[in-house]
Amino acid sequence: MSQERPTLKNPIKIGPIIGIVILLVIANGCYSSHRERKNEIKYIPLLEAMMKDNTVAVAKVDPTYKEVTIKVMGLPMKHYEVTYTYDVNGGGPYKGERTLSSPPTSAEMPLYYAKSDPSYSSFEPQEDIKRITERSSSNSNLYWCIGLYVVAVLALFGYISEALNYLKAKKAIRDAENAAYQKATNY
């Protein structure tokens, strides 16, 4: 009658650690995106001042622009990324990049700029205010961040508990082998 030794599978592998690290990186990215959206609120007074003061300059739009198409629920949505330069009362030249809902119609377009910070500009300040307000009121990235952190922490606890159980079982087997050896060598 021979006793079979139980075989233990070593749970200490690199795959789960990489998975946990990836979850933490994605969660950190979601939090950074959430914080970035909340920080955009500081531009609302500048945008409102642009409209109130009606500070407009002429922007020279680069004739080459980037057309970007994304699908939202299967429907293609296009927007256009343009670069431009402008001068303000002898100051400048200032450069900027903006995303427009329609392609630029001419090489020169009216552009609002902030008196207090001429480097900050907008083609559509009212639309920018609306976009910033909508984006800053959404907490979806924060909820994703919290969820991913919770999953990562639970996975880490599971990984650690498996590793500890493995080490305890390995110690028990080693102790049993030592006890058997001591029993066999003591006459």
**Residue 5 binned pLDDT confidence (cut-offs 50, 70, 90):** low
pLDDT at 187: 64
Q: What is the mean pLDDT of the chain?
A: 84
pLDDT tens profile 132-146: 888 888 888 889 999
Burial of 73-88, coded b for 16+ CB within 10 Å and e otherwise, reads: eeeeeeeeebebebeb
Amino acid at 130: K
In this structure, are strands 91-100 and 75-88 parallel, antiparallel, or unpaired? antiparallel
Higher pLDDT, residue 22 or 72: 22
CA–chain centroid gap for 166, Å, is 36
Using CA atoms, how far residue 13 sits from 17, 55, 84, 152, 167, in Å, is: 7, 61, 52, 16, 14
What are the start-end ranges of the H helices in the chain?
14-39, 44-53, 125-137, 140-185
- Identify the helix (H) or strand (E) that includes residue 116: none
- Asked whether residue 125 carries a pLDDT value surpassing 50, the answer given is yes
Radius of gyration of the chain (CA): 31
46: pLDDT strictly greater than 80: yes
- In this predicted structure, the answer to whether residue 154 has a pLDDT above a threshold of 80 is yes
pLDDT at 1 over 50: no
